[in-house]
Amino acid sequence: MLQLEKVSVRFGGLTAVDEVSLQVGTGDVVGLVGANGAGKTTLFNAISGLVRPTGGSIRFDGTDILKAPLHRRARLGIGRTFQIPQPMHELTVRQNLIVAQRFATGKVDAGRIAEVLAFTGLAEKADRDAATGLALTELKALEVAKALATQPKLLLLDEVLAGLETNGKRRFMQMLKGLHEAFAVGIVIIEHDIETISNLCARVAVLNFGQLIAEGTPAQVFNDPAVIKSYTGA
C-alpha cells in the first residue's frame, strides 16, 4: 500500500529524514519509534503532504504522490492525527467530522460519521462545542474520529496517547486495538511508550537522527544494541 524509497527531508543544512525506505501493507500495524528529534513527525508530514521531500519517492497504492497536494493524498486514502488536538473552533464534534470528511472525500456520509462517533465514544458528545466541551481524552478521540471520518486506507497516528493518565491511556489502547479490524485500515503509530507499541504493533521501525536503524518485531527491535544505544546513549 505505502512504499517509501530513500525519502529525505532537509531544512537548510539540517537533514531531518535521511534516505528512509519503508513499506506498509494493507493489514499492517506498524510502530514508528525513536528519541525526540529522530524525524518521526517529519516523516509523517512528508507522507501526508505537509512538507515536500528533498529526495526519494513515495507511492501509495501504486500512485506516485511525492508532489501530490494534501487533498489528493486524503482522497487516495491517507488519514492522520496530530500530536496536539486541533478541533475546529465554534463547531460541534459532529461538524468537525463533517468538515474533515467533505475535505477528504468531497461528500458527506452521515452513516459513516455516526459509526465513527459510536466507535470513538463521542456519540453522546456529538453536539457539544469541540473546542470547549471535551476533556483531553475526548479531544484525542476526536483526532482519531476526524481521521476515520475521511474513510482512510492508511491511518497515521502521531502520539495519540501522549499526556493521558493511566486509566485514560488504557481505555484508549482498547479502542486502538479494535480500530484496525473494525475499519479495515492499515496503521502507522508514533509512540514513545515501549509497552504500548509492543501491545499494539506486530512490526516496529526505529529512527535515529533521521535514519532508519532497525525494523522487525517488537522483541527484535527493542533488544537491538543499536536501538538501546540510541535511547540510552550507552
What pTM did the predictor assign?
0.90
User: 187-208: buried (b, 16+ CB within 10 Å) or exposed (e) per residue?
Assistant: bbbbbebeebbeebbebbbbbb
Tell me the pLDDT of the chain (234 aa) as tens digits: 899 999 999 998 899 999 999 999 888 999 999 988 899 999 999 999 999 999 999 999 999 999 898 889 999 999 999 988 889 888 999 999 999 999 888 899 999 999 999 999 999 999 999 988 888 889 999 999 999 999 999 999 998 888 888 887 888 888 888 888 888 899 999 988 888 888 889 999 999 999 999 999 999 999 989 888 887 665
Nearest-angstrom CA–CA distance, 29 and 6: 21
Nearest-angstrom CA–CA distance, 7 and 22: 9
The three-state secondary structure class of 122 is: coil
Nearest-angstrom CA–CA distance, 212 and 6: 10
